[in-house]
């Protein structure tokens, strides 16, 4: 009863989603967005007409103006600096626009151009000082803040009366200040255009990447040849220009030059920037974050003003939010990887009946023996991690190595060894096609093809993305073993979509159906997912009927058969289950049966733990990784089975010295060649009663004429 409940709970409750969602980059933007929604909702409930078109248009106008400055600040913060002088630049460029228009009576286009140029110039002063002279951003912009502000004060003492006396009535100027298109204020339209450009610039264009790179690590950026000084200087220029755009709209809207214009603006913009989640110190941030931050700050300050809160309350609210946002941001940045690694492992319920006996004296097909005691060793100490081994029609032996190479041992004595091809990822399962091309599954990379002359080509490294998966499962993470059908379809297993090559045993801890079988069509080059939700699918072998494949589910401890053609197309049938160990590769035997490697044997403790998902989750959260309970992959064996699911024979290395771990085996001319992913050798075992002329290549593709 209790087991049933546990099993239902873990079957239908998606535990694994939490870790996957948290590891997404967009969660960082999601937090400020949620805050924005909460603030917006709270204010719309407490203020009448808060969401009326007039009110929204008014908010949009202010948001546009502050938003431009926010974009500039975001840029400067992302590049690793800070710009405190924005408030003063805002005041000066506002004055510049009104002076040119009201006192000098320039035409509007000239005013616009001149104001932008003025902003660029003021920003360029910061840029040259910080970018080229490498002054500290904080202290430098602090000084320019004072200089610009006092310049502004001096100027308005002389000209404020003449500006206040003028009432320009120019349609284009009025449109900038108060016009709209279909109800959308002019400033919001321009902001949207610039924000879209800014987003593309930061995420798709080279200069944007340079900016992020400099903020992330200035020295590395310099060493990789990015023009650090120029880029930084230009960021401050851009900040000045964006601020002057804001000032232009502000000037057109209000047309005044009061003494306190832009005082404290830097605090508001800085609050918005931090609130949006743009990390101080650089390297992280986006246009969307800047916009969200500005909206939050604006909604709160406007909302409080509408609610007739005293100025002090307004300030306290702003400060409180800044503090909470900064704290959340810092805690999250600091603990993100730790939290994710704690919640990412999501074990599930996996019950297996007691395994068949393997002890000596108990009988049964799995009874231990010491047949592998005297295997011959090939390449001892010269090869590392040959997960799979294969022989071509000329009797040469191929094996993958941990260093990302395919090694070739030459017949007849397999003493001479060479690097056949260098790939760069760990080679796992291998198979020859009809044209002597070697197809290899590369962990972390995908399916690769090696021509007989050793040239490496990518066959496929992606498949269709499933709709309901949070993790991007279109990329292949852990292609494991493959076989090729007569029609040129390659079926290969992807062991897990949730873990990388180096952490594959953790998937066994989870015991969730994270794996899948993928089909690559050599004729069309198309890839699609054939089966999903498998518990670490591993070995694959085309069955004798040519219409189905046999595949092993390592942590399902079972062998299954999948029909890809014929009358039973699309169905899956269990061939063997409740194996005493974890099945790995499957290959053809000379007598029409199949070889199967058991990479490790089941243990009562893990079998029990598999029925206790809560226990395993606590373990993953509280105990360091190297003390976790992992599946045993130290001792195993090779068995021979037939299509009816009957075990015929087993081969053990009792002392585990000569050939300790077996992940694959290949029969060739009366010998069995053994590979193991933790081994530094390839084993060669003389089979009794085996066809001395059996060559797998010839059996599959016919003898070469």
Partner 1 sequence: MKRLRFNQQEIVFAVFAVLFLAFSIFLRGFLTPENMLTLLQNVAVLGILGLAMALVVIGRGIDISLIAALAVPPGLVLQMVQNGYSLPASLATAVLLTIAFGLVNGWLIAYAEVPSLFATLATGLLLAGLGQAALFQLDVVQWSDGMKGFERLGQGTIAGIPTSIVMFAIACVVVAFLLRQTRWGAYIYAIGDNPYAARVTGIPSRPIIVLQYVVAALIGCFAGLVMAASVNSMPTRVFNSTLIYDVILVVVLGGIGLSGGRGGVLNVIIGTLLIGTMLNGMTIMDISYAGQNLVKGVVLLLAVITDSFLNPRNEETAQQGDI
Q: Which residues bind partner 1 (CB under 8 A)?
A: 80-82, 129, 133-140, 142-147, 149-151, 153-154, 157, 217-219, 222, 263-264, 267, 270-271, 274, 280-282, 310-320, 322-323, 326-327, 330-331, 334
- Rounded (10°) angle between helices 287-306 and 265-276: 120
User: Three-class SS of residue 98?
Assistant: helix
Residues facing residue 542 across a β-bridge:
549
DSSP code string of 287-301: HHHHHHHHHHHHHHH
CB of 294 to partner 1, least distance (A): 17
Give the strand pairing for 682-686 and 572-576.
unpaired
CB of 4 to partner 1, least distance (A): 46
Rounded to 5 degrees, φ, ψ at 64 are -60, -45
Query: Quick one: 128 or 189, whose CB is closer to partner 1?
Result: 128
Residue 313 CA to residue 306 CA, distance in Å, equals 12
CB of 144 to partner 1, least distance (A): 8
Cα-trace Rg, the chain: 34
Query: Quick one: 154 or 196, whose CB is closer to partner 1?
Result: 154
CB of 25 to partner 1, least distance (A): 20
Residue 115 CA to residue 483 CA, distance in Å, equals 69
Residue 320 structure tokens? 């409180």
End-to-end alpha carbon distance in the chain: 64
CB of 191 to partner 1, least distance (A): 26
Query: Quick one: 263 or 417, whose CB is closer to partner 1?
Result: 263
User: Three-class SS of residue 378?
Assistant: strand
Residue 259 CA to residue 91 CA, distance in Å, equals 9
DSSP code string of 52-81: SHHHHHHHHHHHHHHHHHHHHHHHHHHTT-
CB of 72 to partner 1, least distance (A): 16
Closest residue by Cα to residue 588 from 517, 473, 668, 645: 668
Residues facing residue 251 across a β-bridge:
none
Query: Quick one: 306 or 314, whose CB is closer to partner 1?
Result: 314
User: Three-class SS of residue 490?
Assistant: strand
CA dihedral 461, 466, 467, 469 (to 10 degrees): -90
Closest residue by Cα to residue 33 from 299, 336, 337: 299
Query: Quick one: 257 or 672, whose CB is closer to partner 1?
Result: 257
Query: Quick one: 2 or 310, whose CB is closer to partner 1?
Result: 310
CB of 142 to partner 1, least distance (A): 6
CA dist 456 → 222, 243, 463 (Å): 34, 54, 20
CB of 675 to partner 1, least distance (A): 46
CB of 123 to partner 1, least distance (A): 16
Q: Could you tell me if 243 and 68 are in contact, meaning their C-beta atoms sit under 8 angstroms apart? A: yes
Query: Quick one: 335 or 394, whose CB is closer to partner 1?
Result: 335
Distant-in-sequence, close-in-space partners of 150: CB < 8 Å, separation ≥ 6: none
CB of 35 to partner 1, least distance (A): 16
- In the block, tokens 């494949």 appear at 549
CB of 438 to partner 1, least distance (A): 46
Considering only the C-alpha atoms of the chain, give the largest distance between any 2 of them, rounded to a whole number of Å.
Answer: 111
Query: Quick one: 205 or 327, whose CB is closer to partner 1?
Result: 327
Query: Quick one: 158 or 204, whose CB is closer to partner 1?
Result: 158
CA dist 35 → 30, 39, 41, 305, 643 (Å): 9, 6, 10, 19, 59
Distant-in-sequence, close-in-space partners of 568: CB < 8 Å, separation ≥ 6: 547, 548
Residue 469 structure tokens? 């998966």
Query: Quick one: 263 or 612, whose CB is closer to partner 1?
Result: 263
CB of 283 to partner 1, least distance (A): 9
Find the length of the chain: 705
Q: Could you tell me if 188 and 178 are in contact, meaning their C-beta atoms sit under 8 angstroms apart? A: no
Query: Quick one: 45 or 219, whose CB is closer to partner 1?
Result: 219
Q: Could you tell me if 475 and 497 are in contact, meaning their C-beta atoms sit under 8 angstroms apart? A: no
User: Three-class SS of residue 670?
Assistant: coil
CB of 527 to partner 1, least distance (A): 42
DSSP code string of 386-450: ---EEE-TT--EEEE-TTSEEEEE-TTT---EEEEEE-SSEEEEEEE-TTSPEEEEEETTEEEEE
Query: Quick one: 179 or 227, whose CB is closer to partner 1?
Result: 227
Query: Quick one: 216 or 357, whose CB is closer to partner 1?
Result: 216
Residue 582 CA to residue 558 CA, distance in Å, equals 8
CB of 198 to partner 1, least distance (A): 22
Query: Quick one: 334 or 416, whose CB is closer to partner 1?
Result: 334
Query: Quick one: 139 or 170, whose CB is closer to partner 1?
Result: 139
- In the block, tokens 């290949």 appear at 666
CB of 322 to partner 1, least distance (A): 4
């Amino acid at each position: 009863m209790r087991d049933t409940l546990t099993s239902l709970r873990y079957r239908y409750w998606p535990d694994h989603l939490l870790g996957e969602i948290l590891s997404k980059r967009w969660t960082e933007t999601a937090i400020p967005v949620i805050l924005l929604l909460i603030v917006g909702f709270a204010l719309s409930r407490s203020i009448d007409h808060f969401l009326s078109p007039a009110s929204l248009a008014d908010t949009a106008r202010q948001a546009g103006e502050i938003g431009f400055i926010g974009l500039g600040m975001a840029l400067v913060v992302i590049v690793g600096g800070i710009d405190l002088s924005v408030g003063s630049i805002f005041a000066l460029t506002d004055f510049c626009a009104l002076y040119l228009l009201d006192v000098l009576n320039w035409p509007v286009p000239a005013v616009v151009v001149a104001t932008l140029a003025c902003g660029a110039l003021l920003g360029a002063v910061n840029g040259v000082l910080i970018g080229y002279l490498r002054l500290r951003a904080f202290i430098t912009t602090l000084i320019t803040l004072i200089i610009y502000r006092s310049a502004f004060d001096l100027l308005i003492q002389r000209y404020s009366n003449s500006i206040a006396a003028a009432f320009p009535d120019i349609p284009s100027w009025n449109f900038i200040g108060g016009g709209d298109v279909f109800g959308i204020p002019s400033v919001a339209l321009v902001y949207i255009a610039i924000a879209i450009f800014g987003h593309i610039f930061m995420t798709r264009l080279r200069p944007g990447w340079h900016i992020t790179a400099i903020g992330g690590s200035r020295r590395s950026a310099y060493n990789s040849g990015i023009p650090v000084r120029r880029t930084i200087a230009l960021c401050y220029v851009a900040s000045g220009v964006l601020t002057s755009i804001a000032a232009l709209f502000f000037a057109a809207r209000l047309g005044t030059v009061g003494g306190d214009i832009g005082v404290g603006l830097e605090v508001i913009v800085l609050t918005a920037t931090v609130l949006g989640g743009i990390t101080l110190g650089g390297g992280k941030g986006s246009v969307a974050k800047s916009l969200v931050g500005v909206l939050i700050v604006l909604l709160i300050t406007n909302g409080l003003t509408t609610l007739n809160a005293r100025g002090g309350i307004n300030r306290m609210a702003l400060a409180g939010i800044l503090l909470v946002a900064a704290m959340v941001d810092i805690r999250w940045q600091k603990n993100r990887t730790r939290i994710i690694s704690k919640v990412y492992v999501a074990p599930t319920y996996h019950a297996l009946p007691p395994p068949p006996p393997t002890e000596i004296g108990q009988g049964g097909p799995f009874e231990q023996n010491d047949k592998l005691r005297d295997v011959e060793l090939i390449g001892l100490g010269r090869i590392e991690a040959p997960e799979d081994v294969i022989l071509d029609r000329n009797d040469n032996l191929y094996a993958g190595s941990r260093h990302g190479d395919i090694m070739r041992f030459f017949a007849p004595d397999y003493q001479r060894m060479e690097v056949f091809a260098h790939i760069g990822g760990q080679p796992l399962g291998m198979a020859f096609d009809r044209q002597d091309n070697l197809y290899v599954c590369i962990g972390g990379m995908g399916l690769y093809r090696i021509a007989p002359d050793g040239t490496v080509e990518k066959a496929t490294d992606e498949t269709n993305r499933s709709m309901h998966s949070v993790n991007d499962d279109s990329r292949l993470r852990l292609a494991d073993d493959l076989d090729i059908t007569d029609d040129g379809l390659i079926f290969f297993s992807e062991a897990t979509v949730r873990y990388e090559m180096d952490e594959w045993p953790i998937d066994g801890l989870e015991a969730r159906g994270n794996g899948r079988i993928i089909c690559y069509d050599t004729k069309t080059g198309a890839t699609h997912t054939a089966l999903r939700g498998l518990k670490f699918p591993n070995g694959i072998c085309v069955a004798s009927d040519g219409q189905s494949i046999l595949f092993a589910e390592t942590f399902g401890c079972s062998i299954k058969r999948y029909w890809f053609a014929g009358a039973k197309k699309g169905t899956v049938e269990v061939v063997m289950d409740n194996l005493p160990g974890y099945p790995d590769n499957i290959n053809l035997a000379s007598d029409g049966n199949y070889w199967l490697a058991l990479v490790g044997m089941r243990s009562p403790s893990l079998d029990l733990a598999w029925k206790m998902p809560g226990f395993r989750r606590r373990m993953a959260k509280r105990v360091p990784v190297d003390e976790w309970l992992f599946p045993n992959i130290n001792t195993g064996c090779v068995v021979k089975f037939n299509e009816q699911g009957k075990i015929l024979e087993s081969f053990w290395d009792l002392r585990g010295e000569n050939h300790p771990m077996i992940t694959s085996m290949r029969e060739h001319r009366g010998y069995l060649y053994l590979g193991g992913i933790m081994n530094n050798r390839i084993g060669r075992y003389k089979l009794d009663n085996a066809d001395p002329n059996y060559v797998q290549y010839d059996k599959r593709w016919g003898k070469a004429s």
